[in-house]
Structure formats: structure tokens, C-alpha cells
Amino acid sequence: MSWQTIDRKSVADETLGPGLSDAIKDKVRSFFPRYPSKRAALIPALHIVQDGLGYISLRAMRELAEVLEIPPSAVIDVATFYTHFWTHPKGRKTIVLCRSLSCELLGGKQVQEAIERKLGIGEHETTPDGEYSFMTEECLAQCDHAPCMLINEKLHKRVCPEDIERILADPDNDRLDIPRSDLYDAPARTAGPATKDREPTAVDAGEQPPDTKAT
Ligand code: FES
């Protein structure tokens, strides 16, 4: 992927993409008490935005910067650094194939070719029906089950090229057999008395830490 320069004056409004709903903004704000500053909540905030909108649009980055009281450039820096975050629309399901050593040695490249052949798309592309997007990623930490891939959050282990047809035909190929982590869906903690597992913070006291002020 190469750098793209964006002339902000020439970006048409309709290309900025969707903005943040009030529900997304409230959820981001509900994370503030967990962190020493609003800026520190940037990564979970990006997860919340991507969960809510499907990707992180330019408009969403701009509005998130306002919520976090940081420059928009700080948001785009982080959103474009991590491959997990998509800055263009992606499909309903995202296939993430491991491209690291164990998986590559055990046939990951052939699995990739089978996926690209079956879906007719390459990396970071989306099928015309909007069902699947595809990307490769470094080690998924399941090397003893190589080659492996994720479909959304579901892990598929020891995948062979011949399995791809069957896996993609299964409508439940992204359904988790275990409860989803509630890290980003946990009940909101509101500012107030400190819980027993942490010390009171400036946010609890209703203070604004100095480094969260708009810059
Ligand atoms: S090398 Fe593929 S999961 Fe680690």
C-alpha cells in the first residue's frame, strides 16, 4: 500500500463517508473513565467506530477527533497504521489469512490462491455483492493449527485449498462457538465512584486531565 496525499479542499462532501451516530459517540465517551486521557482511548474508539460503521471513513475520523479533542491527523495516523482498521468500505464478512512462516510453509499461499480464485478478488478488495473482503495478516497466534484464517472473528484451522469451496458455502462460517469478548460491549462505566479494582482518577473527580485539552 502506498501513501496517498489528500487535498482537503478538494474532497467532495459525499466522498467523506458516514459520520458517527450519537450512539457511537456515547459508547466512545463511556470508555473515557478507563483511561488517563481521552487521547488514550483512541484505539478502542477506532474499534467502536469500525464495529458501528463497518469501516472508518474520513468523516468519522474528523468527528472522532472532535470527541477525543485531538487533531484529526492524530486519528488518521493511527487508523492507517494498523491493518486491522479499514479506511474504505469492506464486505459483511472479512477473511483474514495468515501469511507468516508456519502457515506459509504448510500451504498458506495455495490457500490464498484458492480464495482469490473462488471470490475473484485480491487483497483488500471486496466482492461486488458486498459479502466478502479479503486480506492477509501476520501471525494469528495459532501456528500449531497452520494454515489458518479468520472469517470475521471465527478461526478456521488447518485449512487446505480444497476446503475453501465448502467453507465459503457455509452461511455460518463466521459464527463463533464461544462467547464473544465483551471488551468493547461491556456495560458502560460512567464517571463516578471508583470501582474496587482501580484507584479514583481525575475523570472520576470531574476534572479534565491537562493532556486531554484540545490542541
Ligand atoms: S504463522 Fe500462521 S498463525 Fe502463526
Mean pLDDT of 68-79: 96
In the β-sheet with 149-151, what is the strand arrangement from edge to edge?
Answer: 125-126, 132-137, 93-98, 149-151, 154-156
CATH 1.10.10.1590 residue ranges for the chain: 11-89
CATH architecture assigned to 93-169: 3-Layer(aba) Sandwich (3.40)
What does CATH list as the number for 11-89?
A: 1.10.10.1590
Residue in the structure block whose three cell numbers are 470531574:
206
Q: Is 103 in the pocket of ligand 1 (CB under 6 A)?
A: yes
- For ligand 1, say whether the CB of 143 is within 6 Å of any of its atoms: yes
Higher pLDDT, 58 or 202: 58
Mean pLDDT, the chain, integer: 84
For the chain, percent of residues with pLDDT exceeding 90: 68
State the cell numbers at 71: 487533531
Is the pLDDT confidence value at 185 over 70?
no
Using the atom order of ligand 1, give the atom closest to the CA of residue 100.
1
pTM, 2 dp: 0.72
The minimum-distance atom of ligand 1 relative to the CA of 142 is: 3
- CATH 3.40.30.10 residue spans of the chain: 93-169
Range of lowest pLDDT (97-111, 133-147, 165-179): 165-179
Residue 31 has pLDDT above 60, yes or no: yes
Torsion region of 152: left, alpha or beta (phi above 0 gives left; psi -120 to 50 gives alpha) = left
Residue whose C-alpha cell reads 474504505 in the numeric block: 88
